[in-house]
Amino acid sequence: MTSNVMPHTTTKLLKFKLMELVDDGLAHDGFSDIRIEVKILKRGQKEVILHYGKQYRFVVDMHEINEATTTKQVSG
């Protein structure tokens, strides 16, 4: 993913792609394998790689994600 994608958008794309791959694996008439790899990057980011025949790479800005989670916990 490019760095100009907003972190929240990237997280939503990551979750959507993961669910899409799970649905595809369940619909497949046979064996399937999904693997998730998470690497810590500089500047509070993580690289998430979904392995499912191909590799789907996402860079998630954890600083803004953590702030959004903290805001939800405080207000909720």
Task: Indicate the domain borders of the chain.
Answer: 7-75
Tokens found for residue 67: 């702030």
- Contact assessment for residue 15 and residue 23, using Cβ atoms and an 8 Å cutoff: no
Q: State the Cα torsion 13-64-45-8 to the nearest 10°.
A: 10
Burial environment of residue 10 by CB neighbours within 10 A (0 to 12, 13 to 18, 19 or more): buried
Interatomic CA distance for residues 38 and 42, integer angstroms: 13
pLDDT digits (tens, 9 = 90+) for 17-75: 999 999 999 998 888 899 999 999 988 899 999 999 888 888 988 876 666 666 666 66
